[in-house]
Amino acid sequence: MTIRCGHWKTARSRAIILNKKNDRQKGGSIVILKNVKVFTEEKAFQDGEVAIKDGVFVEKPETGGEEVLDGEGCYAIPGLIDLHFHGCKGFDFCDGTQEAIREIAKYEASVGVTAICPATMTLPVEELIHILSVAASCREKSGKNCPQEADLLGVNMEGPFISAEKKGAQDAQNIISCDPAVCQRFLDASKGLVKFVGIAPEKNEHALEFIREMKDRVHISLAHTNAGYDCAKEAFEAGADHAVHLYNAMPPFTHRAPGVVGAVADCPHVTAELICDGVHIHPSVVRATFRMLGEERVVLISDSMRATGMPDGRYRLGGLEVDVVGNHATLTEGGALAGSATNLMDCMRIAVKQMGIPLETAVACASMNPAKALGVYDAYGSIAPGKKGNVVLLDQDLNLRMVIKDGVIIERQEKN
């Protein structure tokens, strides 16, 4: 049976299971996407087809009993991975409930973000312990094979070891000095889900010792920090290897004081998050950053909050009130930027259509690079045999046409 792109209709509420139970019991059916431009591991598009068997990409499709979808020339890209965002559809990861996590995961999957690593805010330690415990429990219950929900791959801890001077939308009263014992409690509570822990090294007397002690257990990132170039570079040389939303909540990059940005540029092992929502960073700076760091080190993120996918209004983030108008989210008191109201798929589109980033580069930075940063590139981040069969079809204008996760169509849209 061949299904053409022009006949796709919205299917958000009810997934169509392509790998039917009976077929699985007989060895599994084959799903074939024909006539698509496949994004390869060489970061190029190649005319061809994609085959999925039992929810996993396979190299050579079999014949007989397969489901065939005609992609009509659409781009076939890996499911995106957001390794730094807070929420969407009225829910926040820090709500600390399984309902919040699952509703967030459903929305993200529906827009083509098929794996997630949500971020915590700067909250009291015991509250963070609870949030991480709930996440661990949710992961254990849902596993990695719930087709209608994005896979929970990790947690990105944006606080509480940060700087009050660069706190942004974080609550200063909950900031504490970095402490290996507290950090280990976070790791234990999450049962290994915590993948990044952010610190402001200039505010922590024993920051370098903390980095050296914890770097082999979790990625240490520089986050909400006022560190100068020398301090940041020392932290990276000690073992920190990640920078949270580059340019935002850190000193500006200037010709005499390059700050954290300059230190990132001079440390090849460091990856850097970039918010391309059209609000947080000027397009010229985005282009300059790609030239400075190279596409291998940039990870596109959304930093989206609970207002994403919701109407304009007043919302809460980390206990603080935020006003959202369009894709601008600002603190009600003070007016500071407070995350974004744009999902990662839209951020990727903005990077391409408004900022001049090549599509191949933007796709890699929203799928391959986050998978590598999370240490899951063996199973996620590209369309390759043996990896999870998560694929998104986009038309020539980058409109979403279909999302397939684990061999299941969870979203499909009709042509305009």
Nearest CA-CA partner of 163 in 217, 207, 128, 125: 207
Q: Are 35 and 73 in contact (CB under 8 A)?
A: yes
Nearest CA-CA partner of 90 in 328, 346, 314: 314
Task: Give the pairing type, strands 75-78 and 391-394.
Answer: antiparallel
DSSP 183-252: HHHHHHHHTT-EEEEEE-GGG-TTHHHHHHHHTTTSEEEE-S----HHHHHHHHHHT--EESSTTTTS--
* CA dist., res. 38 & res. 32, Å (int): 12
Please state the φ and ψ torsions of residue 361, each to the nearest 5 degrees: -70, -45
For residue 130, the surrounding DSSP H or E stretch is: helix 125-142
* CA dist., res. 89 & res. 161, Å (int): 28
* CA dist., res. 103 & res. 276, Å (int): 24
**Where in the sequence numbering do the catalytic residues fall?**
303
Nearest CA-CA partner of 1 in 54, 74, 50, 69: 69
Token duo for residue 403: 């999302």
